[in-house]
Amino acid sequence: MLAFLAALLALAATPLDAQGSAVPNVPAPVEVDGLRVSLVHTADRDAFLNAWLAGTRELPITERAVRGRRLAAIVIFQGCRAAANGKCNVTGRFTYLKPDGSVAGEVEGALWTEGPLGDSAIPSPSGPDLEIEPHDPMGTWTVRVRVTDTVRGVSVETEARVIVDTPPTAPAPTPS
């Protein structure tokens, strides 16, 4: 299924404009040695990918997290290099920081293992989800990602903010 989705994304890949953003609500990418990366979040990964495939100019992204609901990280990148097998190997290491700057968690994994798409931007069909738990603090959380093209050994770091503006819920009373 992932290979099929990758093929569809390849057909619908979007070139970035001169400012580095393919759509109005996506931040301009950070670039290192031709690898360009933006990070966005969406409440619905499938809706985001469907909108991307449809060429929608306003993608369903958000900067707000709702307690108890997952918020998917989408890395939009371009400029990966293929290995001898014709495929890229783009990985991401995500670090989640609470409003006080302490680390809430880290996760690492593959973002793209298909062929390069020339000058076209590619949204990662997979990536981690953030879920704000009932006891997590309110405020602005920071999501940092280090994206690496392992074929070239090039990495790009960028970050996005996620706002949690609903108070933590009190723990349930202990039965006596």
DSSP 8-state secondary structure symbol assigned to residue 114: S
pTM above threshold 0.85: no
Domain ranges of the chain: 2-16+27-164
Q: What pLDDT is recorded for position 4?
A: 42
- pLDDT tens for 28-55 read 889 999 999 999 999 999 999 999 888 8
Q: What pLDDT is recorded for position 176?
A: 67
Q: Which of 61, 50, 55 is nearest to 22 (CA)?
A: 55
Handedness of CA 119, 123, 124, 130 (dihedral sign): positive
Q: What is the DSSP string of 47-107?
A: HHHHHHHHT-SS----SB--TTSEEEEEEEEE-----TTS---EEEEEEEE-TTS-EEEEE
Written as six digits, the tokens of 49 are: 């990918």
Per-residue buried b or exposed e for 123-162, using 16+ beta carbons within 10 Å of the residue's own CB: bbbbbbebebeeebeeeebebbbbbbbebbebbbebebeb
Q: Which of 164, 38, 171, 146 is nearest to 98 (CA)?
A: 164
DSSP 8-state secondary structure symbol assigned to residue 5: H
Class of domain 2-16+27-164: mainly beta
